[in-house]
Chains A and B, each alone.
Chain A
């Protein structure tokens, strides 16, 4: 086909665009990771990478194999459904090697995280105005953390 002489510059422009698009596609084929789209709209290899991350949480079943007493106390109180590591934080290292001291949670910070009075919490959920309620005493002076109802064990 012969391009009309007066339209040749337009074909140059079109050619420039074609070269641009082509080089984009070439660069793209190099940059986009091989495993992209293997399972979905993400890098397939990322699954293996994520699986290789160290585990931080051991899960309450693991804790209970060694701390059966605590599990026992807990199971009869209102905290039965609250996971060990929700309060103690991730303890996989301790569960693997008990000589690593997990430390004790600071109840002044911990308990109010769930129990400070707030309009956002469901009405029926037990909540207190911590300062007025505890008078500055640590919560565990009166509540046993694993079974917090006063009648159930009270102050240790």
Chain B
């Protein structure tokens, strides 16, 4: 059989979980990471990252809206996924996750964004005209009370929501790792470290994405990049990256030392079929290089321009590396036979329902949604509140 080497059981020859299932944890990871960056400012009061607070929330929302789409497309009958909400089975992690997702989207993200933007929404609903005015009016829920007292309450409730949001974000992404980690029949996945590794890599990717988006957006708006902000973000990214890397190494060393019956087969796979995506992309290009680059910015004094370049490069590499990590987990786990005697190949389709073009579209879609969100709810802090309606009104013409 083409692409098959050694012995595969018949049901293992073709992969069921395609690139879309790789994309899914990548996207939810960005959501969780972006949210955690936002909560740094809110709960831990890291003032320096304030310029990215709102952008991070909107990024999380944009990606969260798209997150279920790869799964829907993967299902032959997407309409049936709704049954999961109607008649959930309590023993199914996937069914329960539907509620975690909904909780996170509605009770955490939307509420937090609404509370934070309420004052702006009310002002915009008064200064805009036409359909925009209607939209903002709906968003105010008919209340234009933005007195000091109301805003103070919003602030406190928002803080509480963020506090609840942090474990929710961990749950959201920890679950993805949990699903893989609890598949005991698959030695490549079955590991209690899986949820933890997923969470930390999610934080790295989310932080990297928001940093890149912030730098790109500031550039487009011809504004100066707040170096104190990106320096702080990069520092957090560096430390979390180190934790993430250590966890992954711990997992690796544990596997090597334990060397259970699957080890030879998996080891062979990593050195052959996954060599490029695991060793080159994930480890060298996507983890070690950005960590070293970021370390350089931490120990030496570099000019702002050099630091900026390093941040852009290492954040991009980190995103590549973490996508590769998802790829290696999802695709890698399906490349070897449970008999440990053979290997198959994954050939990505191009223009099918689960092909390359669809995944590219699904990666771009959240950015488009984000662009719309940013237009509707400008996240920029340099503009004082008074100037937001003016700017928005200027755009409306």
Who on chain A is nearest to B92 by CB?
A41
Residues of chain A lying within 8 A (CB to CB) of residue B89: 41
- Give the residues in chain B near A24, CB-CB below 8 Å: 85
Q: Which residues of B contact A119 (CB under 8 A)?
A: 7, 341
**Contact yes or no, B141 A31, CB < 8 A:** no
Q: Hey, which chain A residues are within 8 Å of B85, CB to CB?
A: 24, 28
Q: Which residue of B lies closest to A33 (CB)?
A: B87
In the assembled complex, the CB of A17 is this many whole angstroms from the nearest CB of chain B, namely: 7
> Digit string of B79-90 for contact with A (CB within 8 Å is 1, else 0)?
000000111010
> Known interface pairs A13-B111, A32-B87, A36-B87. Does A6 touch B143 (Cβ–Cβ under 8 Å)?
no
Selected contact of B114 from candidates A13, A36, A41, CB within 8 Å: A13
B86 / chain A contacts, CB cutoff of 8 Å: 28, 31-32
Nearest residue (CB) in B for A15 is B141
Using Cβ atoms and an 8 Å threshold, which residues of chain A touch B145? 5-6, 8-9
Q: How far is the CA of A32 from the CA of B83 in the complex (A)?
A: 9
List residues of chain A with CB within 8 A of the CB of B147.
6
When distances are taken between beta carbons in the complex, the residues of chain A under 8 Å from B114 are 13
What is the minimal beta-carbon distance from B134 to any residue of chain A, in angstroms?
Answer: 17
Question: A32 to chain B: which residues have CB within 8 Å?
Answer: 86-87
Q: Which residue of B lies closest to A28 (CB)?
A: B86
Chain A's nearest CB lies how many Å from the CB of B390? 25
Chain B residues in 8 Å Cβ range of A36: 87
**Residues of chain B with a CB closer than 8 A to A7's CB:** 150, 153
B137 within 8 A of A: no
Interface range on chain A (Cβ under 8 Å from partner)? 20 to 34
> Is B253's CB within 8 Å of the partner chain A?
no
CB distance from B342 to the nearest CB of A (A): 9
Contact B341 A13 (CB under 8 A): no
How far in angstroms is the closest Cβ of chain B from A86? 17
Contact with B along A12-38 (1 / 0, CB 8 A): 110011000000100010011000110
A120 on the interface (CB 8 Å rule)? yes
**Contact: A9 with B143, CB < 8 Å?**
yes
Of A5, A8, A10, which one neighbours B157 at CB under 8 angstroms?
A10
What's the Cα separation between A31 and B142 when bound, in Å? 32
Bound CA span A119–B114, Å: 61
B141 adjacent to A13 (CB under 8 Å): yes
Known: A31-B86, A120-B339. A16 touches B141 (CB 8 A): yes
Looking at A13, A32, A36, which has the most chain B CB atoms within 10 Å of its CB?
Answer: A13
Q: What residues make up the interface of A, taking CB atoms closer than 8 Å to B?
A: 5-10, 12-13, 16-17, 24, 28, 31-32, 36-37, 41, 118-120
Cβ contacts A to B, 17 pairs, < 8 Å: A5-B149, A6-B149, A7-B150, A8-B145, A9-B141, A9-B150, A12-B142, A13-B111, A13-B114, A13-B141, A17-B107, A24-B85, A28-B86, A36-B87, A41-B87, A118-B7, A119-B7
